[in-house]
Amino acid sequence: MTSRDALDRRPARQRILVLVRAVLVVLCLVAAFVVAMPGSARAEEVRWTWPTPAPHDVVAPFDAPDTPYGPGHRGIDIAVTGEGAAVHAVDSGTVRFTGSVAGRPVVSVRHADGLISTYEPVAGEVVEGQTVRAGDVLGRITPGGTRSHCAQMCLHLGARRAQGYVDPMVLLGARGPSVLLPLAHHGAPGARDAVDAGP
Regions of the chain with pLDDT less than 70: 1-10, 28-46, 68, 70, 72, 144-149, 175-199
pLDDT at 141: 92
pLDDT at 61: 86
* DSSP codes joined into one string, 3-64: HHHHHHHHHHHHHHHHHHHHHHHHHHHHHHHHHHHHHHHHHHH-----SSPSP--EEE--B-
pLDDT at 109: 97
pLDDT at 187: 41
Contact 104, 185 (CB under 8 A): no
Q: Are strands 122-124 and 164-165 parallel, antiparallel or unpaired?
A: unpaired
pLDDT at 30: 60
